Amino acid sequence: MPQSIQTFRLDNGLSVVVESMPHLRSAAWTLLVAAGSATDPDGQSGAAQVLNGMVYRGAGERDARQLSNALDDLGVQRGGGVGVEYTTLSGALLADDLENALALYADIVRRPQLPEAELDAERALALQAVQSLNDNPTQRLFVELGKAYFPGPFGRSTLGEVEELQRIDHGSLQRDHAARYRPEGGVLAVAGGVEPERVREIAERLFGDWQDAPPMPPQPQVRTEPFYQHLPQDTNQTQIAVAYPSLALAEPDYYHERLALNVLSGGMASRLFTEVRTKRGLVYSVFAAPRVYRSLGLVLGYAGTQPDRAQECIEVLLDTLQRISEGVTQEELDRARTGLLAALVMQGESTGARAGAMASDLFLIGRPRSLDEIRGAIDGVTRESLNAYLAQHPPHDFAVLTLGPSPVEVASAV
């Protein structure tokens, strides 16, 4: 199906991108504001998370119940959440009701009531999420890996910290909203049965007089040397997490990295699944996945195993990751390419996925990419070009964290 993507930039710095899918009766949007955990006020880690909850507790002239009822009356399927670099507010519904829904979200983002009486309840939810990490060792492991890999604000947990969440009062919450929920650098992405010019008119009316820019985000501080850290916890499994440098989305060889990663972790025939699970029975779950930020990328790997097999597991895991530099077969490349293209086709059939992808593209590289552009980049990778790239760019500088009863030996691997 031909794509029609148009991008506009309002005078206040808000980017608007629309993909028209005339054959659909539904529409979806993602509203992105540059209010992620990396720009949480000093000493108030988790502020973006609390703010993301509080904006829904009444907005404009509607209290929390009236706002929720208004969204339900429109059939809005709500989504979104807090990331390191931004917060998203998203939804999907019948295209005919898009204007009314965006009017509600203009209130949510621009004119939230932020009722003081609701702050303790919202804080309690945030505190429960942090405290639940002890019952979710895998999530705790990746939270701690982020802190270790990114010293400074970029490594903050999006969930926040208990002591710092307790410092957030009503005045600081209001000041935080006034500072960070601003249009400059933000994105409104819409996909579905809509007309681009009509969406532009709606955006101008609802958001055109919104003003100012949020604080400049910090540059990521990356721990560049290899390291190993163990988190002691009395668990039945040893959890293993690995991070190593990759490419940002704008890099020319980005899809060489993605295809190599699919060879490693693209299904039951992938190398990690075959080597770590099928051949040796070391794990139930093992994977490696990309994580992309505006100025950099990395690969996150995971395996969970029995404590008495953790040493063997980490050795096989790291060896498999490193041996990708020796090259891939044509069969592996074909399978990896098919997996990425299949995911691309499914994304193209989902208005929500397309709105989210376009918002992310605009934030990360300054422009939306069509499915045809992405498909061309994937198809342009040959076995020869991929193997040449891998030989010159082997996985390196592994950051390894384990969580469980006892540490393992990984000094020789990192």
Q: Between vectors from CA 158 to CA 154 and to CA 159, what angle results, nearest 5°?
A: 140
Which residues on adjacent β-strands are paired with residue 229? 401
325 close to 391: Cβ distance less than 8 angstroms: yes
H-run or E-run covering 238: strand 238-246
Residue 238 backbone dihedrals phi, psi, to 5 degrees: -100, 125
Among 86, 121, 21, residue whose Cα is nearest residue 294? 86
CA distances in angstroms from 320 to 122, 276, 336, listed in the order given = 44, 9, 16
Query: What integer pLDDT is reported at residue 224 of this predicted model?
Result: 86
Give the other-Cβ count within 10 Å of 305's Cβ. Answer: 27
User: From first to last of its 414 residues, what are the pLDDT tens digits of the chain?
Assistant: 445 899 999 999 999 999 999 999 999 999 999 999 999 999 999 999 999 999 999 999 999 999 999 999 999 999 999 999 999 999 999 999 999 999 999 999 999 999 999 999 999 999 999 999 999 999 999 999 999 999 999 999 999 999 999 999 999 999 999 999 999 999 999 999 999 999 999 999 999 999 999 999 999 999 989 999 999 999 999 999 999 999 999 999 999 999 999 999 999 999 999 999 999 999 989 999 999 999 999 999 999 999 999 999 999 999 999 999 999 999 999 999 999 999 999 999 999 999 999 999 999 999 999 999 999 999 999 999 999 999 999 999 999 999 999 999 986 445
Among 228, 49, 240, 227, residue whose Cα is nearest residue 137? 240
Which residues on adjacent β-strands are paired with residue 79? 90
Cα–Cα distance measured from residue 20 to residue 7, given in angstroms and rounded to the nearest whole number: 11
The ranges of the chain annotated as CATH 3.30.830.10 are 4-207, 227-404
112 close to 101: Cβ distance less than 8 angstroms: no
400 close to 240: Cβ distance less than 8 angstroms: yes
Q: How many helices (H) and strands (E) does the chain have?
A: 15, 11
The dihedral sign for the CA sequence 154, 155, 159, 162: negative
Q: Identify the CATH class of 4-207.
A: alpha beta
- Could you tell me the CATH superfamily of domain 227-404? Metalloenzyme, LuxS/M16 peptidase-like (3.30.830.10)
Q: pTM of whole model > 0.85?
A: yes
What is the chain's Cα-based Rg? 22
Cα–Cα distance measured from residue 175 to residue 279, given in angstroms and rounded to the nearest whole number: 56
